[in-house]
Amino acid sequence: MNEQVRRRPDGCRHALSEAYDTALLDLDGVVYAGGQAIEHAVASLTRAREGGMHLAYVTNNAARTPQAVADQLSGFGLPTGPDDVITSAQAVARLISEQVPPGARVLAIGGEGLRVALRERGLVPVGSADDDPAAVVQGYDPSLDWERLAEAAYAVQRGVPWFASNTDLTIPKERGIAPGNGALVEVVRIAAGGTPQVAGKPQPPMHRETVLRTGARRPLVIGDRLDTDIEGACNGEVDSLLVLTGVTTPAALLAAPPEHRPAYVDEDLRGLLTPQPEVTADGAGFRCGGWRAEAGDTLHVEGEGTPLDGLRALCAAAWTAAGDGSYAADTGPALARIGR
């Protein structure tokens, strides 16, 4: 595993958009939330692209086609083609195609993006467990109803191989956090038992699909979720940037086990455009900017400066104290001290 992913966030003397050739960007919670672009995202990505960084959008949302996603991003002022979008639907379709005969029927419980990806692999989407499918696959679809979930359960009960585009339990929306595809996978599991093969982040099939489609040589994964984006980067042995515009809280970040620890942390996508500050050892603690943090039975921080530098110092201290585990002490007072 890449040592930079495993250890505390280190400094980067160059802007991240200069140090890495390709940004592998999550969408929900990073570039947009629902139908609204996140503040600073469009301007930051435009500057990164103008500086030579290739932008690729990697999403666990299997509902829409790459073209539909590209059209939305272009509408935000980010010129994007369908080849710049990689979805978990594409990853799971490839995974299925490697295990069933060409032209096989697949019971598709999901949106148009899932059906398009299956056809791209020469598979035939069907709508019923009675259509003799060779596989059943679930992908996110906000219009999914009980009847479709029941068809998936019937097929799984009959022993049809079961696949899922991803198992994210939640998805960010304009009004808050909503149930994701993983919640619907759990519905089928409760009814039918078993466990699906999963293709999306953080599983290796998604990383493989992304590398095949982008040709990235030095990619930087950018996401808002520890258990998908950051863990997927760790599984792929590439560096990652966590942005705090989505579901991850500072408290959850401090408690992250090794596979959920990003190489870099920033407020939003403006972090692509500036060098990342160095976090240095200072006796039994760690220093970043004007802050010094130390961890033991409690987490202590002192100094002054930007809250983000304080969080970086706290991450280094907490992760070092936790080692291969999760830091379990109360982090509330330390976070309050830095204004988080």
Q: Which amino acid is at 198?
A: V
Report the alpha-carbon distance of residue 313 to residue 202 in Å, rounded.
26
> How many other C-beta atoms lie within 10 A of the C-beta of residue 173?
15
Helix (H) or strand (E) holding 57: strand 54-59
Catalytic residue positions? Answer: 26, 28
Please, what is the angle between helix 181-192 and helix 146-157, to 10°? 50
Whether residue 85 contacts residue 59, with contact meaning beta carbons closer than 8 Å, is answered with yes
d(CA 97, CA 93): 6
Output the CA–CA distances (angstroms, integers) from residue 296 to 101, 179, 281, in the order listed. 56, 36, 15
**Chain centre to alpha carbon of residue 138:** 18
Q: How far is CA 28 from CA 41, 52, 94, 99, 278, in A?
A: 12, 24, 23, 30, 29
DSSP label at residue 229: I
Give CA separation, 166 vs 35, 61, 84, 133, 311, in Å. Answer: 21, 8, 20, 20, 30
Contacts with 278 (C-beta within 8 Å, 6 or more apart), sequence order: 10, 11, 288
* The pair of three-digit structure tokens given for residue 101, joined into one six-digit string: 């005969």
* Identity of the amino acid at 268: D
Nearest to 162 by CA among 236, 107, 216: 107
Q: Are strands 219-223 and 239-243 parallel, antiparallel or unpaired?
A: parallel
CA 283, CA 104: separation in Å to the nearest integer?
A: 62
